[in-house]
A and B are shown apart, each in its own frame.
Chain A
Amino acid sequence: MDGPWHYLDHAASTPLRPEALAAMVPALRDGVGNPSGAHALARQARSALDGARDTLAEVVGCSPGEIVFTSGGTEADNLAVRGVLGARGGRAVCSAIEHHAVLHPVQAADGRVVAVDARGLVDLDALASALDDDVSLVSVGLVNNEVGTIQPLVAIAEVVRERAPGALLHTDAAQALCWLDLREHAAVADLVTLASHKCGGPVGTGVLVVRAGVSVQAQQLGGGQERERRSGTQDVAGALGFAAAAVAAAAERPALVSRAGAWRDDLVAAILAGVPGAIESAGTAAGSRSHLVAGIANVCLPTVDSEALLFLLEHDHRVLASAASSCASGAQEPSHVLAALGIDRALAAGSLRLSLGWSTTQADVDAARIGVPEAVGRLHAHARDGAPA
């Protein structure tokens, strides 16, 4: 089958916004200077970099000096967790549905992992009991990358203040920028992770917001860039692309939220109606979705193996989506997020994430709406004794 792809994998990586490309091209073509240098072109690069820093600070609601550019969300998460533990000692706590870029550093440092409920919301009682004076960092992602759950950071911050007053709060907001105003939603966090390519910017650029007064131990040592918090020559073009994408995303946010939310509702409804036994992964019995971002539809389909479903969606319907996280080999692994939501392993093996964004069209949504039930029907015809094909 030929024709354009129906790209419904924005949560993995968004297509580059034209605004971002336009902002990057001059810097890539003409911007030879190292922003740490002294000469005219270096100063020009520094100026461009700091312009991007100002812009991002404005979008996020922080001061420019609080922005630390990194190579992406994973590095920002590692800098937050390891940087805080390195600077202050103590113990880290995170939720069970954190991205591996948080979960693995927390686990490597012998941290504590807190349960979530079936909607993916952090269990505040469990959080309270995991906190004590030892705890120096609590990390809870603002928007979950697999199922789209929005955490109530203000309520979480209250629990932290009460039970572990000395602890810092980090939030991985990589998935949030397109959907939520971070000036409001992330205001309570001491450290905030951002990732450029989740909101229409280039891959390879991220930010850790480190609020004034908070210190992190640098994890990359070298030239002392980013105020000694992250050494390495900054990617000026990447920063410019990220800033342009963030501005465009913020401007478009209300319209995108309402457009994508309606599409997401249609998609989930079509799949639940067309596939017997399907569930919405972080959904509620009443169908309320106020705890979810607009752009992610995550469903679990019985007697389906995600790998086979993704193959059919791609080859027969030109729909590009994803399932749970992929491992280093490229194989689909059972999702720790779906397991934490209490979804059994067999049902979670049939998970499907359709994620929408700035470039999504009605045609993309229609292709998935029709394609998913059709592909599942075909797979069910080849299942045997309840075992998927």
Chain B
Amino acid sequence: MSERILVAMSGGVDSSVAAALLVEAGHDVVGATLKLWGGESDSGCCSVADVDDARAVARRLGIEHHVFNFGDDFDEHVVAPYVADHAAGHTPNPCIECNRHLKFDRLLRRADALGFDAVATGHHARIAVLTDGSRRVARGTDPAKDQSYVVHMLTLDTLRRVRFPVGQLTKDAVRAEAARLGLATADKPDSQDVCFITATGGRSAFLGSRIATRPGTVVDGDGRPVGAVPAVELVTIGQRHGLGLPGGGDPQYVVGIDIPGATVIVGDESDLLVDELGLRRIDWVGFPVAGPLLAQVSAHGVPRPCHVFGTVVHFADPERRVAAGQTVVLYDGDVVVGGGLVSG
């Protein structure tokens, strides 16, 4: 059945091929590039070059292309919380918040209002249909590129109106498809990291100009000072470098951060290991799932066997500590069943 679909085209190869596949499948396709960040970025001011790439692909495919400026929403829902979370010593994932608030909320509402049946993106994830007909996010076919973690928040209702056309393809297959279609973005490198953080300045330059940072004391498990950091707000759990520690001995990791006390606690790798992880709350997709699950704690992390009781994730084997504010996604096999933010 032909649908009217709005494709979010970032100017990258995945969303380019997503649009192309939908056109080939006979859908009525319109492309839209979201202008989210007006500041400095690695792809230039206002990402004009990326918009041009998306427009070139749309022209090649013979589809309409629009630019939607969601800059105010991006500031409000992604950048400001990112800054505030870091100020509170948490480690947020801004790409997840962008998906939650921009691509799968604002854009979806925009698409509804403009008469589209669905929104498609270039994410490497699949949509599984369960026996009861309801849908779930499932891992993409290419394990190295799977992005189900960053789109885990999709609800049952939202999932009916979202399409992931490249989720069934490996990245190589996506590039081959782009080359076959003669798309200008076929050889474009994958985007890396957070779009509003530049490679040269990094996270500390971005945050340093937006929050008041304070120097911190680094102490060992007994409270003895062993080092110093220039900005305690920029330290992350598990960090090994930049702690001003004397050389020699076993590697030391950040195992605790006390922002009000401006103190960072370090320990051995064994001190980093925990048996359980508390979440602020768990958003189940559909209904809570009992029984053995898999927990993934970072975008490309290895899923670990666990059980969930209430809002606590119990690992089958000790697992490294995870920073407060990071996202834990729960899978039943390859299927996303829920997720939540680490408390702290």
Contacts and interface: CB of A to CB of B under 8 A. Distances in A.
A332 interface: yes
A327 B112 contact: no
B69 A307 contact: yes
A331 B68 contact: yes
Interface string A327-347: 111111100000000000100
Nearest to B55: A330
Interface string A368-389: 0000000000110110100001
B179 interface: no
A331 B114 contact: no
A328 B46 contact: yes
Interface in B49-91: 51, 55, 66-69, 71-72
Contacts of B110: 305, 308, 382, 389
B113 A308 contact: yes
A349 to B, nearest CB: 8
B110 to A, nearest CB: 5
Given A315-B115, A330-B51, A389-B113, A307 B68 contact: yes
A312 interface: yes
Given A311-B114, A312-B114, A327-B46, A389 B67 contact: no
A278 to B, nearest CB: 18
Instruction: Classify chain B: how many residues form its interface, as a range.
Output: 20 to 34
B112 A329 contact: no
Contacts of B45: 328
Contact of A331 (B35, B109, B113): B35
Contacts of B114: 308, 311-312, 315
Contacts of B112: 382, 389
Per DSSP, are chain B's interface residues mostly helix, strand or loop, or mixed? helix
A77 B46 CA distance: 25
Interface string A229-251: 00000000000000000000000
Nearest to B109: A389
A329 B113 contact: no
B46 A329 contact: yes
Given A315-B115, A329-B51, A331-B67, A384 B46 contact: no
B185 interface: no
B48 A384 contact: no
B114 to A, nearest CB: 5
Interface string A307-331: 1100110011000000000011111
B252 interface: no
A330 B67 contact: yes
A379 B51 contact: no
Given A308-B110, A384-B109, A389-B109, A331 B69 contact: yes
B47 interface: yes
Nearest to B51: A329
Contact of A329 (B67, B72, B109): B67
Contacts of B71: 331
A233 B115 CA distance: 50
A48 B112 CA distance: 55
Contacts of A312: 113-114
Q: What 4 A-B pairs have minimum CB-CB distances, sorted nearest first?
A: A382-B113, A389-B113, A331-B69, A331-B35
Interface of B: 33, 35, 45-48, 51, 55, 66-69, 71-72, 109-110, 112-115
Given A331-B67, A331-B71, 18 more contacts: A305-B110, A307-B66, A308-B110, A311-B66, A312-B114, A327-B46, A328-B45, A328-B46, A329-B33, A329-B46, A331-B69, A332-B67, A345-B72, A378-B113, A379-B113, A382-B112, A382-B113, A389-B109
11 contacts: A307-B67, A308-B113, A315-B115, A329-B35, A330-B66, A330-B67, A332-B69, A333-B69, A349-B72, A382-B112, A384-B109
